[in-house]
Amino acid sequence: MRSRTMRRTAIRLRLAGALAAVLVAGGVAGGPAAQAAERHGKEPTLADLAERHGRYFGSATDNPELVDEPYKALLGSEFRQITPGNGMKWYATEPQQGVFDFSQGDEIVNLARANRQKVRGHTLVWHSQLPGWLTGREWTAPELRAVLKKHVQAEVRHYRGKVFAWDVVNEAFNEDGTYRESVFYKTLGPGYIADALRWAHQADPRVRLYLNDYNIEGIGPKSDAYYRLAKELRAAGVPLHGIGLQAHLALQYGYPTTLEDNLRRFSRLGLDTALTEVDVRMQLPATEEKLAQQAEWYRDLTEACLAVRRCVGITVWDYTDKYSWIPAFFPGEGAALPWDEQLRPKPAYFALRGALGGK
Ligand code: G3I
């Protein structure tokens, strides 16, 4: 085992090398820097490294960012999987009842196709980012059931063969493991989850179907709720194939040390798992120490996934601090991703490489 100091020194050295590479990629060509860039350019990407372990390594992205060419270039080269951060959500895809608009999701699917990346569909049923027509009135159970079925099936059908997995239901539980009182739960009861999975399966029998949530990385009341539900659903023959652990981590709350055990218990139910929205935020300003700790967390979560055969891949919730959701939602926090706002790799990036067996 290497000591922390050795790891940190190695990370700093690599950071210096990659900085040179980035400067050159940005047009500041020159002798030694250019050579360094060339060497760096030939190194396997995170996705290449993950693939050697039979895993994908991906990033979320969002439509407004796709005008940023340097951003787009890295998105296309470093990752082999992308997730639309917003474009496939209900408010975007069915802005009026029965009127579907798949343009944002399609843009991302087309980009992925051009870059030979696979796409995780996110997300069909969620309490948040719903269209006004749905939240603005009361529904009877039969009405809402029909609305839900139509939405799920129209979207899954549209993306049949284009996405390999769906977050069918997102964030269904509260922290204490009770069901979240979403409009779907309140109107339809907990059976809406099994129904949504069955409807999605009918619309695309090949796509992998997931339940996805945050704060379920470690073993606790919320992940226990998923464990129990997954067991019940499997026993009842409901088409559930995986559990997505979002992994929005924060340095101030501690690392979920039971992550690997947790992944393993879902595997034992015959389910895939994936780390679907990874970021590791911190209270700003980011210091060298915090960035080093963040790097260790990225390394540890990657090692946990690699240790469990059915943990199929890792997706960061966008790859650069430039487009992270964190500062807008948690004022005073940020610096959560492996690349900084200038698209320069941070210690976390090198820790990821190391964990994946790269140099
Ligand atoms: O589309 C409007 C735009 O018209 C307006 O000008 C702008 C002004 O603020 O807002 C835009 O909407 C924003 C939307 O993202 C699209 O960019 C919303 O304000 C903003 O709240 C929304 O945030 C998204 C968030 O989900 C909503 O809960 C984030 O981008 C997205 O990354 C985040 O993703 C979620 C996952 O889906 C589920 N897990 C948690 C994760 C982080 O919250």
Q: Which of 325, 326, 337 to mutate to test the pocket of ligand 1 (most atoms within 8 A of CB)?
A: 325
Say what the pLDDT of residue 40 is: 53
Determine the residue of 67, 86, 104, 171 to mutate for testing ligand 1's pocket, defined as the one with the most ligand atoms within 8 A of the Cβ atom: 86
Count Cα atoms within 13 angstroms, Cβ side, for 288: 6
CB of 85 shorter than 6 A to ligand 1: yes
| Residue 116: other Cβ atoms inside 10 A | 8
Measure CA 125 to chain center.
16
Burial class (CB in 10 A: 0-12, 13-18, 19+), 276: buried
Q: What is the pLDDT of residue 359?
A: 77
> Cis ω on the peptide bond leading into residue 285 (within 30° of 0)?
yes
Annotation says 143 is catalytic: no
Q: What is the DSSP string of 272-304?
A: EEEEEEEEEEEESSP-HHHHHHHHHHHHHHHHH
Q: Kindly give the distance from the C-alpha atom of residue 86 to the centroid of ligand 1, in angstroms, as a whole number.
A: 7
Per-residue pLDDT of the chain (359 residues; tens, 9 = 90+): 344 434 444 444 444 444 333 433 333 333 333 344 444 557 999 999 999 999 999 999 999 999 999 999 999 999 999 999 999 999 999 999 999 999 999 999 999 999 999 999 999 999 999 999 999 999 999 999 999 999 999 999 999 999 999 999 999 999 999 999 999 999 999 999 999 999 999 999 999 999 999 999 999 999 999 999 999 999 999 999 999 999 999 999 999 999 999 999 999 999 999 999 999 999 999 999 999 999 999 999 999 999 999 999 999 999 999 999 999 999 999 999 999 999 999 999 999 999 999 97
DSSP structure string for 324-345: -SHHHHSTTEE--SSB-TTSPB
Instruction: Residue 162: count other Cβ atoms within 10 Å of its Cβ.
Output: 18
**Which residue's CA is minimally distant from atom 19 of ligand 1?**
328
Q: Which residues contact 26 (CB under 8 A, 6 or more apart)?
A: 70
CATH number, domain of 64, equals 3.20.20.80
Q: Which residue is catalytic, options 78, 94, 171, 217?
A: 171
Could you list the residue range(s) of the whole structural domain that residue 180 is in?
Answer: 2-355
277 labelled catalytic: yes
Does ligand 1 come within 6 angstroms of the Cβ of 325?
yes
| Residue type for position 7 | R
86 CB near ligand 1 (under 6 Å): yes
The CB of 35 under 6 Å from ligand 1? The reply is: no
What does pTM read for this prediction?
Answer: 0.90
Q: How many domains does the chain have?
A: 1
Q: Residue 310: CB partners within 8 Å, gap ≥ 6?
A: 263, 266, 267, 271, 272, 273
